[in-house]
Amino acid sequence: MAEAEQYNFAYLDEQTKRMIRRTVLKALAIPGYQVPFASREMPMPYGWGTGGVQVTAAVLTPSDTLKVIDQGADDTTNAVSIRKFFEKTAQVATTTRTPAASVIQTRHRIPETPLAEGQILVYQVPIPEPLRFLEPRETETRKMHAHEEYGLMHVKLYEDIARHGAIVTAYAYPVRVEGRYVMDPSPIPKFDNPRMNMAAIQLFGAGREQRIYAVPPHTGVVSLDFEDYPFEATKAAAVCALCGSAESYLDEVIVDDTGGRMFVCSDTDFCAGRRGAMDAEAVA
Amino acid sequence: MQMQALTGGFTDTPREAAIAFRAMLEAMARPGRIFDIAGATPPMPLSIAAGTALLVLADGTTPVHLAGAHDAPGVRDWITFHTGAPLAARGEAALAVGDWAGLLPLDAYRIGVPEYPDRSATLIVEMAALTSSGARLTGPGIETEHRLSLPEIAAFRTNRALFPLGIDFFFTADARIAALPRTTHVEEG
């Protein structure tokens, strides 16, 4: 028996997939609301994307093409391991090219290339509850969501302004979905927040915290702010040292032992695509 | 139990269920859009789409309510054999299937509670046909507007007013499926 045949399609058993699928449908029906689910142990530790992996396993079909990114990169340990996991257990095609992917599992970034209808973006989420660091009790945060009691979140943003003169929250910046639920967009940079208004389906899986939530396509996602301190999608004031893009989100990387550093695109596929296009132009 | 109850399930469950679920996922994410779904060959009057949806979603943890003409011995046996789902009254059901007249009244189904709005029923409404005409739909999942041949308007407006509580709907005809979550605004076409 070949190794691949020893696994059920996409690893999880059918009962588990049915449970996750029911959860995903309710999540889509109540955008931004965190639906509890019976998260399973996966063959990787919590914190390595077990929530995202379970959602991906439940939505994957045999004809899908899967892309996995970690902080925008296709070639980091987490992304490579998860891609290999599904190559082995679901025998799906994989890609690093954003437009070629039908399912994209992501840790902490939205790809630079706009996503289209027919694509599904699965986020790995560490702490799904946006109010958790303000109110540690689940019983209380659940009531706050039920009563739409989000004043505390605005107090937190206000304290940012009082202390620092600006809202310094730079990632996991809270959003309000369709004017109802306040949602943690996972630790994506706030640069990505406005890009959550998209044509693709967005699903969020938190394995350790046992929550799944979703944002359907063309759904209003608004970053919380104040009239006099409007939301700003910030990024490093630089251009990519490799492809020269001034629009993409940049990582600062240290390149030698003497303090040398440069800014490069966090989205490796976007950067490589631009450099490929430049090389092609140079040849032509 | 008739022999018919033992046949008509998926032949390759993991793959067929995954493909069928994708149609249901897309349908729920894009209310009013009609998708193809197949895999099951259930006994009459259950349509291919409704039978397949039940195989994708139902198991021993999801009480199923059979409404109207769907509460037939053949259907009961088929669902019991293939999913193991207990059959239940409206108020206990996680899933309900039947034609529109049989499923009414809607206020008998679970709509969730404020802390857990997800604890609500999903109704699978069997239709004679599904067309992209009639009621005008707007809301999450819809870029401008979608149209769907809904059985009526008022019930869905009442359900929308319950948000974030409420019931979520699938509509099925032959091997086609569409959905209407509680978030969708419904108006006369």
Which tens digit of pLDDT belongs to each residue from A29-88?
Answer: 999 999 999 999 999 998 899 999 999 999 999 999 999 999 999 999 999 999 999 999
**Residue of chain A with shortest Cα separation from B142:** A218
Which tens digit of pLDDT belongs to each residue from A200-243?
Answer: 999 999 999 999 999 999 999 999 999 999 999 999 999 999 99
How many CB atoms are located within 10 Å of the residue A229 CB? 14
Q: How do the domains of chain A map onto residue ranges?
A: 2-223, 235-284
CA-based nearest distance B145→chain A, Å? 11
Paired tokens of A1: 């028996």
Partner residue facing B14 (CB), from A14, A22, A24: A14
Return the closest-CA partner of residue A169 out of A106, A215, A224. A224
Query: In whole angstroms, what is the distance from residue A172 CA to residue A235 CA?
Result: 14
SS3 B31: coil
pLDDT of the residue at A117: 97
pTM of the model: 0.97
Domain boundaries A2-223, corresponding CATH code: 3.40.50.11310
SS3 B169: strand
pLDDT of the residue at B28: 98
The ipTM, to two decimals, is 0.98
Cβ separation of A59 and B141 shorter than 8 Å? no
H helices within B58-162, ranges in order?
73-83, 100-103, 154-161
What chain B holds in terms of domains, given with CATH numbers, is 3-187 (3.40.50.11310)
Query: In whole angstroms, what is the distance from residue B35 CA to residue B172 CA?
Result: 10
Query: In whole angstroms, what is the distance from residue B187 CA to residue B16 CA?
Result: 35
Query: In whole angstroms, what is the distance from residue A205 CA to residue A187 CA?
Result: 13
Whether the pLDDT of residue A1 is over 80: the answer is no
Kindly state whether B52 is in contact with chain A, defined as any CB-CB distance less than 8 angstroms: no
Paired tokens of A118: 């027919």
Return the closest-CA partner of residue A20 out of A60, A62, A54. A54
Which tens digit of pLDDT belongs to each residue from B11-23?
Answer: 999 999 999 999 9
The answer to whether the bond into A99 is cis (omega within 30° of 0) is no
Whether the pLDDT of residue A6 is over 60: the answer is yes
Q: Which residues in chain B are closer than 8 Å to A26, comparing Cβ atoms?
A: 118, 120, 168
A165 included as an active-site residue:
no
Kindly state whether B11 is in contact with chain A, defined as any CB-CB distance less than 8 angstroms: no
Cβ separation of B25 and A218 shorter than 8 Å? no
**Residue of chain B with shortest Cα separation from A213:** B118
pLDDT of the residue at B140: 98
Instruction: Find out whether A87 and A68 touch, Cβ atoms under 8 Å.
Output: no
Paired tokens of B167: 């019931």
H helices within A30-110, ranges in order?
50-59, 77-90
Return the closest-CA partner of residue B120 out of A143, A37, A26. A26
* Phi, psi of A144, deg, nearest 5: -60, -40
- DSSP conformational letter for B141: T
H helices within B30-130, ranges in order?
48-57, 73-83, 100-103
Query: In whole angstroms, what is the distance from residue A186 CA to residue A34 CA?
Result: 12
**Residue of chain A with shortest Cα separation from B181:** A29
CA-based nearest distance A61→chain B, Å? 5
Q: Quick one: pLDDT band at residue B2, thresholds 50, 70, 90?
A: low
Whether the pLDDT of residue B1 is over 60: the answer is no
Q: Quick one: pLDDT band at residue B4, thresholds 50, 70, 90?
A: confident
Paired tokens of A267: 């989205």
CA-based nearest distance A84→chain B, Å? 19
Beta-ladder partners of B55: none
Paired tokens of A8: 């059920």
CB interface of A with B, residues 160-189, below 8 Å: 178, 180-181
